[in-house]
Amino acid sequence: MVRVGLLGCGNVGGALVQLIADRGHEIEARTGVRLELAKVAVRSIARKRPVHIDEELLTHDAAEVVSDPGVDVVVEVIGGVEPARELILTALAAGKPVVTANKELLANHGAELFEAASAGGVDLLFEAAVAGGIPIVRPLRESLVGEEIRRVIGIVNGTTNFILTQMTEHGTSYAEALAEAQQLGYAERDPAADVEGFDAGAKAAILGSLAFGAKVVAGDVYHEGISNVSTTDIDFAKRLGYVIKLLAITELVEVPDGPAEVAVRVHPTMVPVSHPLAGVRDSFNAVFVEGAAVGDLMFYGRGAGGDPTGSAVLGDLIDAATNLRKGTHAEVISLVRRPIRPIDDLLTSYYVNLDVVDRPGVLRAIAEVFERHGVSIRSMEQEDTDDGARLILITHEAREASVQATLGDLRELDVILNITSVLRVVGSD
Amino acid sequence: MVRVGLLGCGNVGGALVQLIADRGHEIEARTGVRLELAKVAVRSIARKRPVHIDEELLTHDAAEVVSDPGVDVVVEVIGGVEPARELILTALAAGKPVVTANKELLANHGAELFEAASAGGVDLLFEAAVAGGIPIVRPLRESLVGEEIRRVIGIVNGTTNFILTQMTEHGTSYAEALAEAQQLGYAERDPAADVEGFDAGAKAAILGSLAFGAKVVAGDVYHEGISNVSTTDIDFAKRLGYVIKLLAITELVEVPDGPAEVAVRVHPTMVPVSHPLAGVRDSFNAVFVEGAAVGDLMFYGRGAGGDPTGSAVLGDLIDAATNLRKGTHAEVISLVRRPIRPIDDLLTSYYVNLDVVDRPGVLRAIAEVFERHGVSIRSMEQEDTDDGARLILITHEAREASVQATLGDLRELDVILNITSVLRVVGSD
């Protein structure tokens, strides 16, 4: 029997309690471990909950749950940095395994927590912190530990993926799609954490840490959100055989005469319709992993929601409990310091859509700007419009800074009426 | 240091040797385990290999590798039932962990091997046996051990998926696409194991065992291959918004007043284009898992090839090696006996395409046949053809035996000129 101390009993905590109640016998039959809920820290004891919990298990005092000698394993689902960090460090120092779903904490203090787990000789498991119910943390930590991972690309925010799917499939405007997401409970009243890419950025930092064994924190992540993506962008993307997705991208970049650098960023991106990530619709998440030997992998599923996230927590909890019984723990994560590659130095392919005046020499003038900055054009389409012409360009991979300088110079060019849209392109090389 | 005895050094074995050579230092830095190749059993010692192996490590005698006290872990990549089974049982009995990629062996003798591993108190790991490089065995064994899995649907044979993709995207005939697959080395000279669904059937049996903790063997799997799939089928599927995939499907079916039954089958299937499995192209594999709490998951990647499969073997090998060092092992798999549901009792939705004479009363006569067998029609389209009319029907889920009886009676109906195609439909409910 393993006694579980639960910190927080909202959506995810409630789902976990229900799953333990429903699946406890089956889990015991399969693994020999009986999970027993020993103590639950909640904000309000009186509050009605959709799941039944013995009132005597409830307490306001999270620290009491952690220090209770009747608690063998701690599950933290309160979220946020403090007091979660303090509570988890206390549990680990006391030799109690911890399961957490806390992306914000891991993305800011992962290295400290991993070291504490290592020092305590116990498990710190966090499958639910990235992409909810999708098993991605365990495959990266275990199955792929010997693999040379080159790049990880994730659709790791369900809210923005829902909004972009609505815009793509129903022609909805950004504002309408956001309102719909809010109505369905996918987006918060203040949607900034989702739509500006902060949430995806935290997950990108965790993915980068796991994939490259490197210290990557939320502050290292360059991010742009989707609030500037227009239906015009989406329509042109579609015409060219792309869809627009908010991607979290982290890769290891070899540097001549120096240590490899970790690049990590979040931005709206054009993805070819034939790419597996293009088919990830609605609020689903997916993590695409590019390995040297294993090739391309993708892990797809529900990135949020009480039940899927609760299921991921439960998987970790069973693992922590069986390890505890056997007196062992998962391989510890030790992170090395690697330089973070500045966004300016990243190589990206760009899509650029320009309204221009229709007269001889325009194309030459534009091509000259690209050439001056060493940005090579991969494809170009020109078409007439009512008041001039439209140029649709896709570049080869070029340094971000060079593309930005090119765009700056293009803005100065009097033959250009409007830069309609500019988007990065991934996955079509 | 963990000394590895390798049985077989073909594509996968060679890739593993290369990966250990290339990645050994990194693996040691990350996990503290140094993998050393101690002995390699091969058919021909003289044969040139693309990878360098010290000649003194090579032997003809696989039994010698297993019994060598200088071998700590055994990797079996010779394939086939014997002598692999005997060798693995010997290794497990001697307390040596085993990593294998042998689907045929596991699909026929899995329960015996799992018991031997349990008795020996050592690991038997087999990530590479299902869907090559895709981490699916570990997620099912560990991440999802607490989850109530309802159904697993896999595209687990790359050869047939390549053939169907060629037919779908380029209008190639089955024979041409098969010839192309053979030319590219995807299909064998005798393609029966792939195209008739035997290979997928073995993997379906392993997936069923893992998902439901039940004894499922290759002989339990009902299978139909793709050799009868025509470009006509594919064109109609496309028109209706479907693609045709060879699916391995296993599910747990509740039975009133009896134990739940395991259904397990392989057949060509119409999948809605919006379903994530529809986007799995070329020789890629994917496994789609439907869980009660976690919802829908999909695991996508390379299902075959030396490097991807070698990568999966390497992941297991590192796991076995670290477990050995810690004196522990993965949770053992214990399988219970569950009834296998007869194919006749399966519930499936069907697509039926009929050429009929164009005269009053035809539709009524046909509808009467469906009604007689309790098969309910979900949608019907009628269109004129040169010599009559075409009816395209999709049924609600109905018992397989009832649909077969319906088709038998339809064949007798003189208003029916031709039953153009009949295909099962999955994923559109």
C-alpha span between A35 and B301 (Å, rounded): 34
For CA atoms B91, B92, B93, B95, give the dihedral sign: positive
* Chain A residue with the nearest C-alpha to that of B25: A146
Confirm or reject contact between B359 and chain A (CB < 8 A): no
Which residues of chain B are within 8 Å of residue A326 when distances are taken between CB atoms?
A: 328
In this predicted structure, what is the pLDDT of residue B427?
79
* Rounded-to-integer distance, Cα A344 and Cα A398, Å: 10
The domains located in chain B, with CATH, are 2-133+306-326 (3.40.50.720), 143-302 (3.30.360.10), 344-425 (3.30.70.260)
The residue type of B408 is: G
Between positions 251 and 280 of A, the ones with CB within 8 A of B are 274, 276, 278-280
Cα distances (Å, whole numbers) of residue B89 to A226, B74, B81, B120, B122:
56, 11, 12, 9, 11
CB-based burial label for B39 (10 Å; 0-12, 13-18, 19+): buried
Rounded distance between C-alpha atoms, residue B225 and residue B424, angstroms: 13
d(CA A131, CA B66): 42
Is-contact A75 A317, C-beta < 8 A? yes
Return mean pLDDT, chain B.
Answer: 95
Task: Reply yes or no on whether the pLDDT at A429 is more than 60.
Answer: no
Which H, E and C letters describe B307-371, residue by residue? HHHHHHHHHHHHHHHHHHHHCCCCCCCCCECCCECCHHHCEEEEEEEEEECCCCCHHHHHHHHHH
CA distance A302 to B296: 7
How far apart CA A294 and CA A413 sit, in angstroms, is 47
Read off the pLDDT band of A428 (50, 70, 90): low
Question: Which pLDDT value is given to residue A87?
Answer: 98
Computed over every residue of chain A, the mean pLDDT equals 95
Candidate from A281, A293, A311 with C-beta closest to B293:
A311
CB contact under 8 A, B297 and A326: no
**pLDDT tens digits, one per residue of A101-145:** 999 999 999 999 999 999 999 999 999 999 999 999 999 999 999
Both tokens assigned to B198:
């035997």
Instruction: Give A293's contacts in chain B (Cβ within 8 Å).
Output: 15, 19, 133, 307-308, 310-311, 314
In this predicted structure, what is the pLDDT of residue B387? 86
Q: Would you tell me which residues 284-313 of chain A have a C-beta closer than 8 angstroms to some C-beta of chain B?
A: 284, 286, 291, 293-302, 305, 307-308, 310-312
B213 touches chain A (CB under 8 A): yes
Q: How far is A315 from chain B (nearest CA, A)?
A: 5
Q: Chain B partners of A284 at a C-beta cutoff of 8 Å?
A: 296
DSSP bridge pairs for B263: B251
The C-alpha atoms of residue B31 and residue B23 are separated, in whole angstroms, by 12
B297–A301 C-beta distance less than 8 A? yes
- The string of pLDDT tens digits covering residues A33-88 is 999 999 999 998 888 888 999 999 999 999 999 999 999 999 999 999 999 999 99
What values do phi and psi take at B175, rounded to 5? -65, -45
Q: Which of B31, B143, B301 sits opposite A315 (nearest CB)?
A: B143
Burial-class residue B183 by CB neighbours within 10 Å (0-12, 13-18, 19+): exposed
Distance from CA of A293 to the nearest CA of B (A): 5
Q: Which of residues 114-133 of A touch B (CB under 8 A)?
A: 127, 133
Cβ–Cβ below 8 Å for A279 and B276 = yes
**Shortest Cα–Cα distance, A121 to chain B (Å):** 12
pTM of the model: 0.95
pLDDT value at position B331? 83
Considering only residues 17 to 56 of chain A, which have any Cβ-Cβ distance to chain B shorter than 8 Å?
19, 22-23, 26-27, 30-31
d(CA B68, CA B62): 10
Per-residue model confidence (pLDDT) at position A401? 96
Gap between the Cα atoms of B387 and B122, Å rounded: 68
pLDDT in tens, A254-287: 999 999 999 999 999 999 999 999 999 999 999 9
CB distance B302 to A291 below 8 Å: no
Q: Quick check: A127 and B144 CB within 8 A?
A: no
3-state secondary structure chain B: CEEEEEECCCHHHHHHHHHHHHHHHHHHHHHCCCEEEEEEECCCCCCCCCCCCCHHHEECCHHHHHHCCCCCEEEECCCCCCCHHHHHHHHHHCCCCEEECCHHHHHHHHHHHHHHHHHHCCCEECHHHCCCCCCCHHHHHHHCCCCCEEEEEEECCHHHHHHHHHHHHHCCCHHHHHHHHHHCCCCCCCCHHHHCCHHHHHHHHHHHHHHHCECCCHHHCEECCCCCCCHHHHHHHHHCCEEEEEEEEEEEECCCCCCCEEEEEEEEEEEECCCHHHHCCCCEEEEEEEECCCEEEEEEEECCCHHHHHHHHHHHHHHHHHHHHHCCCCCCCCCECCCECCHHHCEEEEEEEEEECCCCCHHHHHHHHHHHCCCCEEEEEEEEECCEEEEEEEECCEEHHHHHHHHHHHHHCCCEEEEEEEEEECCCC
pLDDT score, position B49: 87
Give chain B's residues under pLDDT 50. none
Residue A372 phi, psi (nearest 5): -55, -35
Query: Distance (Å) from the C-alpha of residue A311 to the closest C-alpha of chain B?
Result: 6
Interface ipTM: 0.94
Q: Tell me how far apart the alpha carbons of residues B406 and B374 are, in angstroms, rounded to a whole number.
A: 9
